[in-house]
Chains A and B, each alone.
Chain A
Amino acid sequence: MNLGSGQGSMSTASSSGAWKAGDVVPDQFPAGLRVLVVDDDPTCLMILEKMLRTCLYEVTKCNRAETALSLLRGNKSGFDIVISDVHMPDMDGFKLLEHIGLEMDLPVIMMSADDGKHVVMKGVTHGACDYLIKPVRIEALKNIWQHVVRKRKNEWKDLEQSGSVEDGDRQQKPSEDVDYSSSANEGNWKNSKRRKDEEDDAEERDDTSTLKKPRVVWSVELHQQFVAAVNQLGIDKAVPKKILELMNVPGLTRENVASHLQKYRLYLRRLSGVSQHQSGLNNSFMGPQDATFGPISSLNGLDLQTLAVAGQLPAQSLATLQAAGLGRSTGKSGLPMPLVDQRNLFSFEAPKFRYGEGQQQQQQLSNSSKQMNLLHGIPTTMEPKQLATLRQSAQSFGSINMQVNAHGNDSSSLLMQMAQPHSRAQILNETTGNHVSRITSSMGQPVLSNGIAGGLLTRNVIVENGRGAGFNPVSQGPSVVEFPMNHTAELPGNSFPLGTNPGISSIQSKGLLEEVSSEIKGSRGFVSSYDIFNELHQPKSQDWELQNVGLTFNASQHANSIPGNLGVSPSVLVHQVFSSGQKSGQNMNTPVVSKAMFSVGAGSEHGNTHNISQHLNTLVDSSLRVKTEKILDPSCEITPFPEHYVQEDLMSALLKQQEGIGPVEGEFDFDGYPMDNIPV
């Protein structure tokens, strides 16, 4: 009689909280793995839940795909893996799979009673990491943790391959690997890794012949060339062969271009898709922003001007810029704008930062606009740092981030972005402090930090970010968090090592470049983050803690709060948070940010933040962003900046980060940061 024999008392609750960053002992892995299971069949759901609990996993169940998505969006780093049924009434399981892959980049296991070959194949092509045939046995569930680990590993590899991973990152990685339970860690580099992983996957899919092709590092410059070529041809007409010819880069193959183009297209698509959802966000802004790829270099100059002229970029100027960008960019409507803007920002930022002038401008921008907005425009590519930077400076940063991230380059595009987001930010800011979190550009947030940091530092300089120790830079915006988040200490639970991650900085510099290119790819995630921001925005409660979680890279939690993109240098973020002196306000941002990041990073972030600290992960989740952020990311978590972001502070914070100047600890007034320290 099996009655009562069962498994003995399975502690179903044992898994709960097992994955808190830093809390869990590696030995416990995979216990505590946070699983989200989606199935419309209540019987199956009940059984699965029980089975997973028996495996000591932390289970959340839902019977509708929409619910699952909102759960995931609301808590980007809240889950490690998703198990979903194929046939569901409200949404096709594969569609959900796509969403998750794009927005959160979590491993997804499909299951179905249907074992037909074509269905299983569909799972494979849609990116499911496994396919289970119902009825599911507990043995099959016991090993699902392997997918989580594998994904992280791949992300790491991606990071390394792209060369963005610095030793610091490496060091973190090993620890990360061991510390399975720390979701924060995972989140950090996971994001970036995810993104990379995605990229890799995409590449692999492109070239089915070779599973592992030698990766081409899409540096910022290379990507810019690519974008320029694409825009010249027209996004619709851009074919790899022609792009290759236009780019005229020796050693680049058509396949490289083709796979990059695919990613780019995906990114654009997401951007435009995201811009639609953004509520309250200036869609137009968003859209364009995403297009960080805007080839309009001339805009950069424009932005600068704009930036210079008015501390705050009036919406008009931004619009103008965007329009200009649009004009230049490909025929794609809506897309060009963001592209341009972003690029511009990026380029702008760089010079601006360098000279410290940018800072002022940024500050001005930031002042005017709440950070939130800034992020909006930031395309996914925005390095988290950049985003972070933006955040801080509020508007200005947002733009910067956008740009920065997008480009990942230290170019002035950042500035441009700043200008643009600025207006946007304004718009966004209106929404309330939450907007900051809104920074749809969540990407931008990290971008800010990155962008700013990047801008200032320029690629090479980025390395300096060391301050940003939090940078996960490369990989994720969240890493930024690490940075000088000394302040974060204030944040509950935020243990951002901001500025303390020296290792990170090194990585950052490298990663930055790489990141940038990867960032672009990450832009995909960006789009999603946008949504997330919106969503995040809502929950923003004052609980800083929650948000901080994301920010505080300690984040035991997953990068929820800080989307990888947040590249915003943590210091900046911190400043913001602190400057506002209100956690609550900031919390708002955080969550938003993190959320946004999540979406953006869609996994790209995961990997990135790895280095900085787990916390960063949360931020950095937007690995895409992280890349660029690396430079700046010093913990640029997108701290929920309350209305008063002092741009200067941000800038200074960023700069400081870059320079390695003492972290912003405790002093949230950015003013203290000498601009001239910027190691431009």
Chain B
Amino acid sequence: MERTQQHRQVAHMRQSLFDQGLLDEQFVQLEELQDDANPNFVEEVVTLFYRDSARLVLNIDQALDKSPLDFSKLDSYMHQFKGSASSIGAKKVKSECTLFREYCKAGNGEGCMKTFQQLKKDYAVLRKKLETYFQVIFHSLLFDKDGEN
């Protein structure tokens, strides 16, 4: 049945996000917070994260362009970024944040830059995947509604 298929698709997608290490338990926490009062809670939070963190990413990029590098500032930015990312359960991005901060502490500018490039990639990939995921969910809900009658 369509609905079941849709649901399966959603479930499958979801599982792969976890399997690939992109999401962690915190994401589940968000899902559990979703309820009738806030039916789109997860999507809202993720959207908010990406909107808010965009400026942080920009700040870090700019800071990395400076010379010499201000590691404490970089570390501070990354601390914020990490906090945000971890709150939505972005596992991979979070671990990259940790790595970045370690390079900062070590004063390793190159390490920082490389890590940040990777981080941005993962950050973008996650965004895309989550967008798709939410679309699939939305789609499946349509099916649900249709099927209910």
For window 9-30 of A, CB contacts with B under 8 Å fall at 9-12
Q: Do the beta carbons of A1 and B7 come within 8 Å of each other?
A: yes
B 23-67 binary contact with A (CB < 8 Å = 1; else 0): 000101111111111110100110011001100000000000000
Q: A1-B10, A6-B34 are in contact. List 4 more A-B contacts (CB 8 A).
A: A9-B35, A43-B45, A47-B87, A50-B41
Main secondary structure of the interface of B (DSSP, over half): helix
A6-B48 contact given A1-B10, A113-B79, CB 8 Å threshold: no
B35–A8 contact, CB under 8 A? yes
Are A46's CB and B48's CB within 8 A?
yes
Interface size on B, residues (CB 8 A): 37
Interface core residue of A1, A114, A136 (most chain B CB under 10 Å):
A1
| In the bound complex, CA of A47 to CA of B84 (Å) | 10
CB contacts under 8 Å to B, within A41-82, are 41-44, 46-47, 50-51, 54
Asked if B88 is at the interface (CB within 8 A of a chain A CB), the reply is yes
Q: Indicate if the CB atoms of B39 and A134 lie closer than 8 Å.
A: no
Look across to chain B and name the residue whose beta carbon is closest to the beta carbon of A10. Answer: B35
A43, B38: Cβ atoms under 8 Å? no
List chain A residues, Cβ under 8 A from B49. 43
CA distance A51 to B89 in the complex (A): 15
Q: Determine the distance from Cα of A12 to Cα of B35 in the docked complex, in whole angstroms.
A: 11
Most buried by A among B37, B48, B137: B37
Q: List 28 A-B contacts (CB under 8 A).
A: A1-B14, A1-B140, A2-B28, A3-B137, A4-B36, A5-B32, A5-B34, A6-B34, A9-B37, A10-B35, A11-B37, A12-B37, A41-B80, A41-B83, A42-B48, A42-B52, A47-B45, A50-B38, A85-B83, A87-B80, A113-B79, A113-B86, A134-B83, A134-B87, A135-B29, A135-B89, A136-B87, A138-B33
For the complex, give the distance between the alpha carbons of A113 and B87 in Å. Answer: 9
Q: Hey, which chain A residues are within 8 Å of B106, CB to CB?
A: none
Q: Are B79 and A87 in contact, CB atoms less than 8 angstroms apart?
A: yes
B7 to A, closest residue via Cβ = A1
Whether, in the assembled complex, A210 has its beta carbon less than 8 Å from a beta carbon of chain B, the answer is: no
How far apart are B139's CB and chain A's nearest CB, in angstroms? Answer: 12
What is the chain B residue whose CB lies nearest that of A11? B37
Q: Do the beta carbons of B37 and A10 come within 8 Å of each other? A: yes
Residues of B close to A10: CB separation below 8 A: 35, 37
Residue of B nearest to A2 (CB): B31
B33 near A113 (CB under 8 angstroms)? no
**A49 CB to nearest chain B CB (Å):** 10
Which A residues contact B (CB, under 8 angstroms)?
A: 1-12, 41-44, 46-47, 50-51, 54, 85, 87, 112-114, 134-138
Interface residues of B (CB under 8 A from A): 7, 10-11, 14, 26, 28-39, 41, 44-45, 48-49, 52-53, 76, 79-80, 82-84, 86-89, 137, 140-141
From A43, A54, A137, B84 is in contact (CB under 8 Å) with A43
List the A residue with the shortest CB-CB distance to B86.
Answer: A135
Docked complex Cα distance between A135 and B36 (Å): 24
Report yes or no: A7 in contact with B33, Cβ–Cβ below 8 A.
Answer: yes
Q: Are B35 and A41 in contact (CB under 8 A)?
A: no
The answer to whether B37 and A112 have CB atoms under 8 Å apart is no
What separation, in Å, do the CA atoms of A9 and B48 have in the docked complex?
22
A46 to B30, CA, bound (A): 11
User: Which chain A residue lies CB-closest to B56?
Assistant: A41
Contact check, B11 vs A43: say whether CB atoms are below 8 A apart.
Answer: no
Please measure, in the bound complex, the distance between the C-alpha atom of A432 and the C-alpha atom of B56, giving whole angstroms. 48
What residues of A have a CB within 8 angstroms of the CB of B87 in the complex? 41, 43-44, 47, 134-136
Are B45 and A2 touching (Cβ within 8 A)?
A: no
Q: Given A41-B52, A46-B48, are A54 and B83 also a contact pair (CB < 8 Å)?
A: no
